[in-house]
Every structure is written in structure tokens, then in C-alpha cells.
Chain A
């Protein structure tokens, strides 16, 4: 098998002395979709912003990000500018910040198409229309003349996706691309990303707080907690048999469309980055914490092929789903109209 398209090794990021990413490794192959889930603030966005050198100056970044033979963390900034929007497409979490409010959609797309695809004149218009069509924006020709404020949030989100695809990327990093959208529109967009991936063999990093979204759209899923990957596995395996107590907790906390059951909340809150607990960062909230957990930070170890877990007790724990009966159900009045 060919080597990975992009590989992140030992990535660390700190802001003003507070660690945000504390040693992260990822390898992504062509055509593959990697999902990243985890609590708010766990470092999902910062990991990829760091890899693309998009963090403010004050961020202290260590590690290596290899694309082909380059270390992106040391590449000249011109090369980064060429890669971003070219071989690496990005959809950011905050759509408002990503589109320029004073430029028409055409102007914004033209820039990317000229820079990364070498297009000019009429072929720019044709390609921009094709891309807007692709993401399901009706009246694409008319829309090219619009400004971002003249379109709905969902339309702007789709314009951003069209722009991210403009450079025919090998890798698309989509950070919560559908969070602000209604589920029916969300399904439409995720479907579209899958289609593009199949057709162009593009690799996809899908960052989302929604385990369902990630499970349905990714081959492999990494779970982050407090700046580290705590578990990584094929999507199916992860949801059927999670082996890190935090992953188990996330799944038990997730409501489903099936009969109501007692949701099992994870007690407590994420640790303050400046006051990390010793050993496993999840230990203060973990029902299985033992003295062994409070020593060294558990390494992310390969316990089975394709599966990595960072838990001091991974080998001995057998994590069963939390009791699924809903005690409150009996107490809840059955209402008939």
C-alpha cells in the first residue's frame, strides 16, 4: 500500500503556556475519510489549523506534518499559501469569517480558480457555475453576482464548500461543515461530500461534535479529549465496541430515535488546560479510574490492527453499554389524546 497522503506526528500546540494539543498523531490515506469527534475545546480545530499554519503568532507549535516529503510546519509560507485552497481544501467552522463580505461570489471563486487551476476569463465563469451547481445552489449564473449577505446561511455554507472544492483538493478538511444547518440540508451536503470523494478519490477529514454524522460518513474515527487522541478505530467497530471509557461515555450519552432510554451523562467537566490532572486527563470523570491511571499519561497504543487506545486499563476493561432501561419511563404519564 502506498504511504499516507498526510501524516501528523507528535503535534503539540500551546497558547500563552496553556497546552491545547498535547501530542497528536494522524495518518490519512488517499480517498479515506477520517472523522474526529470530542468535547468542545478538545483541540479538534486547533490540530488542523496548526497543521496548515493558520494559527496566530502566539501559538507555540511543535511536531511534524508531512505531505509528500515536506514538513509543512517548516515549509516556506509561499508554499503553504499555494497548498491551502489547492491540494488542501478547507471548510471552516465559522462561515461568517471565511467569505469576504465586500466581494461577489464570483470574485471570491475566481481568485481560487485562477491561483490553483490556472483558469482565466470565460473558463472561470463556467467552472464557478459548475461548482455552484454541484453544491446545489439554484440559478448558479445569477448567484455569481451576489454578495454573501444576500444569501442564506445554508447557501453561504454551500458556497464555502464549492470554494474548498475549487482547487480539486487531494485532502478536504471540513470543520463542522453542517453544524449550523437543518438536518435535511445537512444530509444533502454530507451526501455531496461523499459523492465528490468517490469521484475524485479525495481524502476527507470531517470534524464534528455529532457522533452520528461521523459514524455515517467516515471510514475511521478518532476521539479527542483534552488535546489528545484517546481512541481511534474503524467507524463501525468504534460504535459497536468502544474501548476507551470516554468513548463509551459519549455513546451512552447519545439520544437515539429508538425508544427512550435513560441517557447516561458523563459526570464532571473537561479539565482546565492549565491545571491538568496527573496521568490520564479523563480520570477525574472516569468510572474506571484506578491508581494505575494517575501515574504517566496513558500512551495511544495499538491494541489491535487499525485500533489505538490511550487508556491505562484498556487491556483489562470490558466496557458494556450502560443499562438501557429508562426507569423514569414507568413514572412518566402515558398521555393519550
Chain B
């Protein structure tokens, strides 16, 4: 077993936001104590409701934002402060791919120039070496030299997303954080990008954090999955285990709600109640207002993320109560 490339230890992050111009500021705890590890060459999928803290967690994993408490370690060393010299050199080794490829690109520059940007920023290589690296990055992501000469709006959505991936890969990073990288793409194009990420990961031993609200894509690409709800991880395990045999009631609802053609007679767990509001976290288990199994204990006491089996964790009182079989049916 290799040492983790990235580890988050009890990280928290709270934002203060104001409702309306003169409203009183409210504290929103976006990430409320998350610990996780990513090993070299491994893909960790992160799923969860909108607002559950996935993107915030991803930014902290890259050191783009410092946690309010807790710690982030990359390759055994503490994450340097954002903007510092050592932080800048670390950026080469860990890169981010965002959801909106058009927003992440400059419309006035040919995409090849933008793919080479990280090399300039980090002062890597001379002109010829950079050109060679750009050509390699284009090829690796299935783009031609001609694509490289085009402007962003002259490419399709899938091609633009490849440009973003090509740019993220050009410094030969060890970790890639992908935040909803295929959500804006059509199914037929989405498959191109998903395959590309899987291949790159296998060929280059990349470690990846893959954030998505689409369980089906996460299943496709991840070895391990963590499920977030209101700033906490509520379940974690191999993709196979978590999605075939979910333990936490929220994961169960999520899995049963994933629309699948050809599986019409499935039993579904339809949740009632409102989507979670991070500014008004419920007492006890944050999921209790929507949980079909909630008891008094769930309303009063917060369940801790407990180890169920090697590599398998869940945070639910009902699961803890049956330590022998992980079966809160």
C-alpha cells in the first residue's frame, strides 16, 4: 500500500454571506470537518447534493483556498499558503479542470497558446521545448495541430474541454482535481472526455479527484467514492461497494434516483422535504429531515463517520447499531 499523495485531515471552511444588500451576514459552513486520502494513481469520485461542499473541498485539496481549521498535506508535506513561492511550485504538480470550458478560456487567444500558459507561468523550458510540450499535450488529448491554432469559439464543447485538460496536463501533474468536467456536455461528447480521462489516468498514473453530481459518470471513472452531504462525508468506499450496496440512507436515495434506461421496475426511494440549506444546518444528523429512517437519536446527536470494513466508512446511527452486518435495511 502506497503512502497517500494527498490527505485532508478534519478540514473545515466557513463563508460569511449576506442575504440582500443590508441583510445580516450569515455563516455558511461549506465544509464541516472532512478527512480523506488520495493515493498515487487513484481516482476518488466525490458526489453529493448541490451546496454540499464538493467544490470548496476541491479548492482546498489544491491549496487554492486554505482551510479555517484542519490540515492538507501533499506528498507528505504541509500545503503551503496560497500565493507563496513554494505554493507556486506545487501548482505544477496538482492542477484543476473546471466545469465551464468557455469561461476558463480567453476568447482572443488561439487555444495552443493557452495550453502552454502554465509553462510560461512556471518558467519551464525554452520556446522550442514549450512548443514540443504543447504538441504532445494536444496529441494526448486527441486534438490536432489545426485545433490548436483555433480560437475557443471555433471548437465544439467536447474539444474545448479537451483543451482545458491539455492545459492541466502540460506540467505533467501527479494530481488532477476535476470539478464537474463533463456536466455541460452532450452524452455523445461526454463519453469522449470520460474515456480520455480514464486513459490518461491509466497511462500516466495520475491521481484524480473527480467531482460530479452524476453517479453514473462517477461509477465509470472512480475506484473510490465519497458521498458528501452538507459539508460532511456520509459514506465512503470502493465505487463498486458504495454504488452496488449503499449503506447510508442518503446514498441509497441517490443511487435509487439515478435514472437508468431499461430499469423501469426498480424500487425507488423518493425523498420528501427540502434540499439541504447550508445556512440552516439541522440538528443531529444533517440528513434527518429527509431521512425515511430517522429516529429521535438522529434529531439530537450527530453520527460520526465510522469504519465499517477496511476502506469503508459511513456516518449513520442505524448502521452503527448493527456492527456485525452493515445492514440497516
Contacts and interface: CB of A to CB of B under 8 A. Distances in A.
A275 B50 CA distance: 40
A216 B259 contact: yes
A184 B272 contact: no
Contacts of B214: 255
B262 A215 contact: yes
Interface string A93-117: 0000000000000000000000000
Q: Contact size class for B?
A: 35 or more
A183 B260 contact: no
A240 interface: yes
B270 A191 contact: yes
B258 A215 contact: no
B310 A250 contact: no
Interface in A3-57: 39-40
A191 B219 CA distance: 25
Contacts, number: 157
Contacts of A154: 274-275
Interface string A245-281: 0000111111111111011111101000000000000
B128 interface: no
Given A257-B216, A257-B260, A328-B199, A265 B192 contact: yes
Contact of A186 (B255, B257, B277): B257
A203 interface: no
B190 to A, nearest CB: 7
Interface in B257-282: 257-264, 268, 270-275, 277
Interface string B230-247: 000000001110011000
Contacts of B311: 336-337
Contacts of A230: none
A332 interface: yes
A154 B213 CA distance: 15
Interface string A208-234: 011111111000000000000000000
B41 interface: yes
Interface residues of A, number: 54
Nearest to A262: B195
B194 interface: yes
A182 B240 contact: no
B309 to A, nearest CB: 10
A306 interface: no
B270 A253 contact: no
B264 A183 contact: no
Contacts of B260: 212, 215-216, 256-257
A209 B258 contact: no
Contacts of A188: 270-272
A183 B254 contact: yes
A185 interface: yes
Interface of A: 39-40, 136, 138, 152, 154-155, 182-188, 191, 209-216, 235-236, 239-240, 249-260, 262-267, 269, 328, 331-337
Interface of B: 1, 37, 39, 41-42, 49-50, 156-159, 186-192, 194-195, 198-199, 201-203, 205, 213-217, 219-221, 223-224, 238-240, 243-244, 253-264, 268, 270-275, 277, 290, 310-311
